């Protein structure tokens, strides 16, 4: 496949340095066309919208911000020269003797990361050479070449490529391995750390990965899977945790018996020091990762989709961020990397962190949101990249603890009013009295006193939530919409920009969009500028890994990728997301409902809801739900209808068989969502409570915690039928 032309953003002029271009970015949405979306002339066809683009890309789509930065390898190398002695990675090392993390951070500079990536990459090539010598005999240590048949990720058949797999939580070792792969043109395929056995086995089988990086506690699990005979290609396990022959002899013996070599991370680095290979620079068109996503309609492990993403996709995504995301002003930039690195959204943000010279901190426990707040307090990030659930939890915590205090209630209302008057410019919304006596103190206590920008993605979030937090803390917010298939970006809002505030912003400069009419659901271009979102451009992936059926299904004859999402263009040129096409249902009364919107609203507005699955169909005129509750909420239930010392199993039985309790809890939930403005037919009218109804293990949720709807329905089919037999429990009242 030939490399498509690389088109830089319009700010680049011949001879301008990278730094000179970056100083001109991001674009100002008030004085440049970046906030405008245009319809290309003569592109409207039956059943579709015209082709839509960002105005700065009206003549051609852009793919890079500077000709010197065309791969992730280029991005790191350029900034290595610029920030060589600056700290890049920060982590708390685990003390295995004391069985706890150190209470201080250890740092790695850009230069140290550069050195370590060369050791790790060299070791990976050496080990692969050792186990597959006949496939790897074209490496010459004195040249920068490698067998093109081995590392040609652009062919339709990638079976001869070396694909490294990673099964680990967010940690500095994850980062080092990833960037070693960039430097040596090694394709990697991350697995979510919470993946079930079936998904782990499936991905290792599909990729035929010979080397797996993992944590010590996953070793026996993987070796047990290897006994099934489907993972013959897996030959080497590398533990990111230290191993010892004295304490881990069982692991070494079990690995040997399973025809696997076992190393730890320290050993890997030592191997690389003794067997150095020069870097193998990738080209823009080279695939650098295969990012697996799960379907949510059936058994998720059976519909794993390996999204092949190239360096060109990654740089186009980085270019979109450069064009829209304002760099914090602080001289010491730092952020917390807690979103799973197996998700491309998180990895895309790391590429931006490198570009701006930020220090990336890794948390002790990235799966525990309560501990995340503790990390924030220690780190005091200058910018924070997160998901809606963390922000809605923060809002609910503040309101639950402080809303009864007159000063907080009056102050927050004053600040929200001020933000609106200042056209949502957080820099101008200061209140000397309220900020000094209250809100600055709260910011400091939470660890946000240095935070200038919060970027939120991954799901929808109520506008009211970011309005509340932006007003109180004088922090600018950026929201975005994207998919794994678009390297996480289709559109983004702008900081301190009224027209895009509370939306996912206008279409980016590296992609074009077309909306396909869905007349059965009343989403059409002519009626409401809406439809299924189709995308095309340099930011969009080219194919799914080893799945031509999916490729044929998701791409049309003109190369448009069908996202499966419903969206619309508002009067301010923003792309707004409604829901997945498959998640919009019609009730018996003819009302259309976005299930995703309903579930997110209840989830985001009620901190005691840990999980939720809503159900409705064309035979009923109201919704019911399965809700996973926080156990402490029930134990301390304010209506005292439940004995505090009962076991959880008994508690569940008592709650679901006590209509009065169910009505009271449901009434509270519906009261908490009033501010969002759901219609009565969109509200839940009966509910069944569990404590952890859905899990990755039984495939009712994906590793990214999205509900697998069909599996969830069959798991709770009886309870759903019983709720409809029971009838409505919620009647709208003035609460």
Q: Which of 337, 340, 309, 206 minimizes the C-alpha distance to 706?
A: 340
pLDDT value for 644:
47
Surface-to-core class of residue 613, CB atoms within 10 Å of its CB (0-12 exposed, 13-18 middle, 19+ buried): buried
Helices then strands (H, E): number in the chain? Answer: 24, 28
Identify the burial level of 646 via C-beta atoms within 10 angstroms of its C-beta, where 0-12 means exposed, 13-18 middle and 19 or more buried: middle
- Could you give the CA distance from residue 262 to residue 252 in angstroms, rounded to a whole number? 6
- Answer whether residue 360 is part of any domain: no
| Positive or negative torsion for Cα 708, 713, 714, 719 | positive
* Cα angle: 512, vertex 708, 581; to 5 degrees: 35
Task: Give the model's pLDDT for residue 635.
Answer: 63
**Cα pseudo-dihedral 629, 633, 636, 641, rounded to 10:** -40
CATH of the domain at 693: 3.30.300.30
Whether the per-residue pLDDT at 157 is higher than 50: the answer is no
Are 200 and 230 in contact by the 8 Å Cβ rule? The answer is: no
Closest-CA residue to 294 (of 305, 310, 280): 305
Q: For residue 549, what are the contacts with CB-CB under 8 A and spacing of at least 6? A: none
* Boundary-marking domain end, from 260, 290, 312: 312
The full 3-state SS of 180-211, as one line of letters, equals HHHHCCCEEEEECCCCCHHHHHHHHHHHCCCE
The CA distance from 637 to 643, in Å, is 9
Q: Is the pLDDT of residue 721 over 60?
A: yes
Residue 706 lies in a domain: yes
Query: Does 549 map to a domain?
Result: no
Q: Please choose, from the candidates 163, 158, 159, the residue with its C-alpha nearest in 3D space to the C-alpha of residue 236.
A: 163
Is 131 inside a domain boundary? yes
CATH code of 220's domain: 3.40.50.12780
Cβ contacts of 95 within 8 Å, gap of 6 or more:
101, 102
Q: For residue 13, is it within any domain?
A: no
Q: Assess whether pLDDT exceeds 90 at residue 432.
A: no
pLDDT tens per residue across span 686-720 = 999 998 999 988 889 887 778 889 999 999 999 99
Q: 624 and 615 in contact (C-beta within 8 Å)?
A: yes
User: What pLDDT is recorded for position 732?
Assistant: 63
pLDDT tens sequence across 502-512: 999 999 999 99
Indicate whether 469 pLDDT > 90. yes
The reply to whether 27 falls in a domain is no
In a domain, residue 336? The reply is no
Q: How many domains does the chain have?
A: 2
Model confidence at 295, pLDDT cuts 50, 70, 90, reads low
Percent of the chain with pLDDT over 90: 71
Average pLDDT over residues 394-415: 82
* 53 dihedral zone (left: phi>0; alpha: psi -120 to 50; beta): beta
Strands 87-91, 359-361: pairing kind: parallel
Average pLDDT, the chain: 89
Q: Which domain holds residue 647?
A: 587-726
Torsion, Cα 635 637 643 644, to 10 degrees, reads 30
Instruction: Please state the rounded mean pLDDT for residues 176-193.
Output: 97
Q: pLDDT tens-digit profile of 300-326?
A: 445 789 999 999 999 999 999 999 999
Question: Going by C-beta distance under 8 Å and a sequence separation of 6 or more, which residues neighbour residue 534?
Answer: 48, 513, 514, 515, 516, 556, 560, 561, 562, 563
**Residues 472, 415 contacting (CB under 8 angstroms):** yes
Q: Return d(Cα 223, Cα 197) in angstroms, integer.
A: 11
CA dist 440 and 453 (Å) reads 16
User: Which comes out higher in pLDDT, residue 466 or 462?
Assistant: 466
pTM: 0.91
> CB-based burial of residue 270 (10 Å sphere; 0-12 exposed, 13-18 middle, 19+ buried)?
middle
- Domain end residue (candidates: 312, 343, 359): 312
Q: What is the pLDDT of residues 18-49, one digit of tens each?
A: 999 999 999 999 999 999 999 999 999 999 99
Cα separation of 429 and 410, whole Å?
A: 15
For 68-113, the pLDDT digits (tens) are 999 999 999 999 999 999 999 999 998 888 888 899 999 999 999 9
- Please indicate, yes or no, if residue 260 is contained in any of the structural domains: yes
Per-position b or e across 386-421, b if 16+ CB within 10 A of its CB:
bbbbbbbbbbbebbeeeeeeeebeebbeebbebbee
Domain's final residue, options 296, 312, 328: 312
Residue 501 in tokens: 């505030």
């Amino acid at each position: 496949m030939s490399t498509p032309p690389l088109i830089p953003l319009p700010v680049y002029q011949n001879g301008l340095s990278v730094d000179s271009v970056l100083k001109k970015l991001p674009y100002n949405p008030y004085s440049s066309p970046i906030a405008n979306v245009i319809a290309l002339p003569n592109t409207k066809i039956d059943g579709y919208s015209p082709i839509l683009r960002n105005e700065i890309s009206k003549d051609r789509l852009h793919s890079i911000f500077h000709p010197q930065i065309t791969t992730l390898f280029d991005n790191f190398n350029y900034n290595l020269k610029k920030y060589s002695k600056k700290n890049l990675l920060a982590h708390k090392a685990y003390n295995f003797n004391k069985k706890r993390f150190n209470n201080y951070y250890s740092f790695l500079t850009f230069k140290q990361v550069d050195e370590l990536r060369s050791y790790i990459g060299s070791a990976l090539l050496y080990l692969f050479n050792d186990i597959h010598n006949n496939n790897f005999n074209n490496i010459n240590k004195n040249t920068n070449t490698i067998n093109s048949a081995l590392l040609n990720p652009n062919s339709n058949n990638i079976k001869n490529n070396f694909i490294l797999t990673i099964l680990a939580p967010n940690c500095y070792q994850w980062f080092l391995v990833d960037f070693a792969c960039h430097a040596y043109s090694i394709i990697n395929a991350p697995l979510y750390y919470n993946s079930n056995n079936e998904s782990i086995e499936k991905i290792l089988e599909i990729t035929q990965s010979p080397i797996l990086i993992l944590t010590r506690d996953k070793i026996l699990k993987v070796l047990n899977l290897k006994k099934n005979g489907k993972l013959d290609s897996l030959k080497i396990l590398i533990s990111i945790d230290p191993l010892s022959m004295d304490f881990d002899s069982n692991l070494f013996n079990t690995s040997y018996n399973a025809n696997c070599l076992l190393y730890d991370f320290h050993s890997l680095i030592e191997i690389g020091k003794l067997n150095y290979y020069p870097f193998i620079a990738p080209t823009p068109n080279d695939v650098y990762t295969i990012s697996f996503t799960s379907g949510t309609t059936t058994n998720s492990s059976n519909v794993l989709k390996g999204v092949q993403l190239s360096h060109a996709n990654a740089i186009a995504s980085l270019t979109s961020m450069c064009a829209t995301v304002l760099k914090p002003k602080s001289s010491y930039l730092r952020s917390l990397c807690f979103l799973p690195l197996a998700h491309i959204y998180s990895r895309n943000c790391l590429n931006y962190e490198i570009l701006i010279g930020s220090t990336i901190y890794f948390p002790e426990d990235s799966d525990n949101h309560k501990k995340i707040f503790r990390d924030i307090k220690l780190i005091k990030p200058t910018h924070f990249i997160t998901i809606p659930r963390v922000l809605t939890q923060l809002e609910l915590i503040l309101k639950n603890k402080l809303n009864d205090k007159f000063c907080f209630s009056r102050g927050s209302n004053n600040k929200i009013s001020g933000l609106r008057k200042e056209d949502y410019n957080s820099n101008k919304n200061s209140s000397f009295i309220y900020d000094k006596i209250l809100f600055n103190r709260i910011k400091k206590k939470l660890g946000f006193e240095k935070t200038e920008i919060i970027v939120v993605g991954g799901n929808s979030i109520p506008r009211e939530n970011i309005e509340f937090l932006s007003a109180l803390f004088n922090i600018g917010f950026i929201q975005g919409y994207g998919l794994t298939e678009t390297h996480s970006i289709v559109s983004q809002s702008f900081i301190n920009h009224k027209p895009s505030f509370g939306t996912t912003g206008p279409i980016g400069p590296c992609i074009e969009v077309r909306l396909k009419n869905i007349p059965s659901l009343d989403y059409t271009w002519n009626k409401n500028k809406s439809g299924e979102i189709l995308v095309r451009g340099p930011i969009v992936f080219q194919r799914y890994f080893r799945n031509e059926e999916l490729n044929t299904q998701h791409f049309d004859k003109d190369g448009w990728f069908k996202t499966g999402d419903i969206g619309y263009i508002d009067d301010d040129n923003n792309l707004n997301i409604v829901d997945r096409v498959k998640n919009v249902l019609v009730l018996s009364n003819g009302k259309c409902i976005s299930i995703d919107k309903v579930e997110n609203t209840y989830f985001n507005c009620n901190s005691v809801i840990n999980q939720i699955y809503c159900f409705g169909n064309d035979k009923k005129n109201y919704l019911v739900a399965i809700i996973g509750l926080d156990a402490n909420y029930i134990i301390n239930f304010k209506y005292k209808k439940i004995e505090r010392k009962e076991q959880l199993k008994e508690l569940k039985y008592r709650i679901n068989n006590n209509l009065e309790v169910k009505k009271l809890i449901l009434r509270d939930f519906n009261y908490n969502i009033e501010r969002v403005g759901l219609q009565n037919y969109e509200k839940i009218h009966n509910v069944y409570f569990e404590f952890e109804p859905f899990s990755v293990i039984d495939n009712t949720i994906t590793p990214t915690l999205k509900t697998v709807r069909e599996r969830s329905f069959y798991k709770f089919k009886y309870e759903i039928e019983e709720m409809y037999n029971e009838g409505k429990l919620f009647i709208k009242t003035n609460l």
